[in-house]
Structures are given as structure tokens and as C-alpha cells.
Amino acid sequence: MYPFDYHRPTSLKEATNLFQAADDPQWLAGGMTLLPAMKLRLTAPSNLIDLAGLDDLKGLKKINGSIHVGAMTLHDVVARSPDVRQNIPALAALASGIGDSQVRNRGTIGGSISNSDPAADYPAAILGLDATIITTCRQIASDDFFTNLFETALESGEIVKQVSFPIPDCAGYVKFPNPASRYAIVGVMVSKTGSAVRVAVTGAGASAFRVAEMEQALMADFRPEVLHEIQISSDDLNEDLHASAEYRAHLVNVMARRAVGLACGA
């Protein structure tokens, strides 16, 4: 690593002041991506501002018809939460499948979505459950948050405070994981709330995206079978040593059908 100054503020105001005073600052949440990147000298912030001391950003609770998750809440806490398991079991299942136990006990939901890794699991939950991202400046709708590969709508210095997940009537998440990293080669979250259906995909493109054709088909008939003939274009999908674009297109359909089956209780 290159030299840097480390800070552990105890309030949002202190964190913001430190960020504004630094030459090239970087927020540190769980550090699951940032620290390896620093070790490889792919990034070299002048100041590392650790958000782990901000207790206001931790924990989760049910408020009316939504589950509110603090940005510094660990993946393992989400996976084990009785409120999440009872109200949005698909979200608990998603969190329980992130990485391994070491990652789940260090990584945070705020850090994950702010990083916008194209193979991360939480972006599918954000889009698929129509979550609202609450920051130090504003509220950002799910469809507006992820903008591109490792890019979000967050502005410089803006901190995610919490994520609000509306409780759906039913939902399911299924992914085809990389056997080593457990990242999603393709992951699909499907949810149904009233007559509205959302189908969100992670791992396949530069960032998470929705599949309108699948949503329309499921709004008419919420069964896995209605998706069987829907063809996903491989244009602009990711291609690497783990899967071709064409294979990822195929997996989107397969994972979506399995997610609908889970949502239906199959």
C-alpha cells in the first residue's frame, strides 16, 4: 500500500468534515473491495475515513410496511434477522449467500451498493424489491441508483445512511455463483406486490438491470412457465472466463424461473 492517513469518526458531521478537508479521501465501510484494491496499488487515497464508528448507521428495524437497514449493517446481521426472515425471506437468503462467513461478518450493505460491483448480490435486491436509498443529502429511488460499472448516483462525499425495503407480497432470489468467490455469475430477484412485478438481474451486465418483458408476462400470469419462451439478448452482457455473454443470457431465464418458483413457494 501507499501511505495514507486513517480516521475513525464518531459522528456524521465529523466524517463529513474530514472528507471535505482531505486531498483525496475515501470512505471505508467493510473494506471487502477497497482494501484489496489498495494492497494491489490500484487505488491510493490520501485519507481513509472509516465509518465503522458511526453507530447510527448500524442495525435494522421494521417500520410500517418496510424493513429499514442501516448502511453499516453487516451481511450476516441481515441474513440472521428475524424481521427480515419473516417479512422478506428472499432478502435474508440473498445475504446468507454472499461470499463466506468472513465476508458476511465484515462486509456491509452500504459499502456493497456504493461500490456497484456488477457481480454483487445486493444490487438485485435494490432493484428487485424497489428499495429507497437514504443518504446524507437525499432519497434515491432504486431505478436511479446504479448508473454503470462501479458507478452510482452518489455524489462526492455523499454517504448512504440506510436502505428501505418495502415488504412485498412474495419474492425469490436465485443466483448461479462463481464457485470460488460466490459472486453472482447471474443472479435474479423477482418480487410481486399487488399487481406490480419486478425482475432484477445482477452479474450479467455492467450494472444491475430490470427485465421489462419478464415483468409484463408475470403481471399477467405469475408462474415460472410463462418465462420459458422469453429470450434475453446477449448484446452488452458480460463475457469472461467464467461465462460467455450467450450463456449469461441463458442463465437469466433459468434463474428467473427458479426465483419465481421460490416466490410461489415451490
Average pLDDT over every residue of 179-203 = 97
Residue 90 scores a pLDDT above 70: yes
Concatenated DSSP letters of 45-79: -SEEEEGGG-GGG--EEEETTEEEEETT-BHHHHH
Question: What confidence tens digit (pLDDT) does each residue in 40-73 have?
Answer: 999 999 999 999 999 999 999 999 999 999 999 9
Average pLDDT over every residue of 245-252 = 98
Average pLDDT over every residue of 102-124 = 96
114-140 burial code (b ≥16 CB/10 A, e <16): bbbbbbbbbbbbbbbbbbbbbbeeeeb
Average pLDDT over every residue of 163-181 = 97
Confidence label for 2 from pLDDT (cuts 50, 70 and 90): confident
Average pLDDT over every residue of 99-108 = 96
| Percent of the chain predicted with pLDDT > 90 | 98
Confidence label for 266 from pLDDT (cuts 50, 70 and 90): low
Nearest to 224 by CA among 247, 199, 258, 251: 258
pTM for the predicted model, two decimal places:
0.95
Residue 132 scores a pLDDT above 90: yes
More confident residue, 108 or 2: 108
pLDDT of residue 129: 98
Question: What confidence tens digit (pLDDT) does each residue in 214-225 have?
Answer: 999 999 999 999
What is the rounded distance in angstroms from the CA atom of residue 63 to the CA atom of residue 206?
33
Residue 1 scores a pLDDT above 90: no
Confidence label for 140 from pLDDT (cuts 50, 70 and 90): very high
What's the mean pLDDT when you consider all of the chain? 96
SS (H, E, C) 136-200: CCCEEEHHHHEEECCEECCCCCCCEEEEEEECCCEEEEEEEECCCCCCEEEEEEEEEECCEEEEE
pLDDT of residue 178: 95
Q: Is 39 helix (H, G, I), strand (E, B) or coil?
A: helix
Question: What confidence tens digit (pLDDT) does each residue in 179-188 have?
Answer: 999 999 999 9
| Percent of the chain predicted with pLDDT > 70 | 100
Sheet holding 47-50, edge to edge: 5-7, 47-50, 25-28
What is the rounded distance in angstroms from the CA atom of residue 56 to the CA atom of residue 72?
9
Average pLDDT over every residue of 135-155 = 97
